[in-house]
Chain A
Amino acid sequence: SYVLTQPPSVSVAPGKTASITCGGNNIGSKSVHWYQQKPGQAPVLVIYYDSDRPSGIPERFSGSKSGNTATLTISRVEAGDEADYYCQVWDNISDHFYVFGTGTKVTVL
């Protein structure tokens, strides 16, 4: 089955930039979507189709892709950005079709 690998944790100081990577075989050929999940809350879409931002999501959140890695970048990090972040793709060969990454806990120092 298709696997998306994320670092378990990322720590960042307020005002700095956090980069969360998502690696997968041939991910360059797939559209990548990102979700933020704060403790005790439902996930929220923050980036779709690699780099598009839903209305209401701050411009500080951006997405990119290069080679076999997609990246979610959070600029000027705020305390409220502390959350788990998941990448996701569609893979019609996988036993789960809609595949989520392993998740990254972002801690604001």
Chain B
Amino acid sequence: DADVTQTPRNRITKTGKRIMLECSQTKGHDRMYWYRQDPGLGLRLIYYSFDVKDINKGEISDGYSVSRQAQAKFSLSLESAIPNQTALYFCATQDWRNEKLFFGSGTQLSVL
């Protein structure tokens, strides 16, 4: 089983819909991240959390919200999806001892 699991793997939705992307991990890491990947732009940080009570906005947090339900779960929500939120979304955890990131398999989101 994957250490970092994202669901769904692919999602198509319509403009204005609320959508939630889920991430769960079995690595026991406190640090979790949500990134967005667009062609030619690389990975950009949406939100990050260093523990259950710590939530921080990244550089592109507008239009997104997150919930850290437990150490193992970190969800990303789009309150009202718009077409320019079409992208590949990654959840990641980080091992504080060596700074290594462990990524989920990504969720490809298309907003029509």
Physical interaction between A and B: no
- Chain A interface residues (CB < 8 Å from chain B): none
- Chain B interface residues (CB < 8 Å from chain A): none
